[in-house]
Amino acid sequence: MRDNAYSQFVSYAKVILPLISLALLSTLFLFARPSGNGSDIPYADIESIAREPRLNGPDISGVTETGGAFSIAADVARPIDTEDGSFAIEGINITLESPTGQAVQLTAGQGTLLESLNRVIFDNLVRLASNDGYLMEMRGLIADLDQGHLESTAPLEIRAPFGSLTAGHMEVIQTGSTVQMNFNQGVTLIYQPPN
């Protein structure tokens, strides 16, 4: 009698337990909500990307001929001319670093990368900061990444650890393990001694 009751329990369990699991799974799928609506795909963005090729968030790094390092990060890069490999870039951040750790960081809203010459040309506002306390603003700059060389194409204003100055021209040159900043063409210096 006891074996008969156990056999009946097992036979009922073989039917009831799969039905319970099926009911649980069906309620899981019934009440689950999709994460997004399929009609929310931004087709306008897809069409604009297809019409105008671009690269989002490019990040390039390399080594200069003098042994320093450079890196370029941008928000967007769009090809201008595929023959010479030039790109219009936006939201640019360039870092040049000498082997001894002297570094210059350059930020700008937009510029042109000439890949064949490994140069970046800026025609708008450029901000430049060095890790030894110089801050500069100018409205034009050429960055030669092979040489680790920066040259302004417009007058600039400089805040230095010893005061402030203005100049008509500036060059940042990597020579061996050092980075030199040269200011010329009508330099005006306002010296502020330490307190």
Judge whether 76 lies within some domain: yes
In a domain, 148, yes or no: yes
Does residue 64 sit within a domain? yes
Calculate mean pLDDT across residues 77-100: 84
Q: How confident is the model at residue 53, as a pLDDT?
A: 79
Give how many domains the chain has, as a whole number: 1
Domain contains 124: yes
The reply to whether 178 falls in a domain is: yes
Give the domain CATH number at 142.
2.60.450.10
Q: What pTM was estimated for this model as a whole?
A: 0.67
Which residue in the block uniquely carries the two structure tokens 């030199």? Answer: 180
Mean pLDDT, rounded, for 38-48:
63
3-state secondary structure the chain: CHHHHHHHHHHHHHHHHHHHHHHHHHHHHHHCCCCCCHHHCCHHHHHHHHHCCCEECCEEEEECCCCCEEEEECCEEEEEECCCCEEEEEEEEEEEECCCCCEEEEEEEEEEEECCCCEEEECCCEEEEECCCCEEEECCEEEECCCCEEEECCCEEEEECCEEEEECEEEEEEECCEEEEEEECCCEEEECCCC
Report if residue 43 sits inside a domain: no
Query: Is 116 or 69 the better-scoring residue by pLDDT?
Result: 69
Give the pLDDT score at 51. Answer: 74
Which domain range does residue 126 map to? Answer: 54-191
Question: In the prediction, which pLDDT does 163 show?
Answer: 87
Is 121 among the domain residues? yes
Distance, first Cα to last Cα, the chain: 103
Question: Is the confidence at residue 77, as pLDDT, over 60?
Answer: yes
**pLDDT at position 20 over 60:** yes
What per-residue confidence (pLDDT) applies to 135?
92
pLDDT grade for 107, boundaries at 50, 70 and 90: very high
Is the Cβ–Cβ distance between 87 and 73 less than 8 Å?
A: no
Q: Is residue 128 part of a domain?
A: yes
pLDDT in tens, 115-165: 777 888 988 899 999 888 889 999 999 988 888 888 999 899 989 888 888
> Taking 60 as the threshold, does the pLDDT of residue 187 lie above it?
yes
Cα–Cα distance for residue pair 60/133, rounded to 1 Å: 26
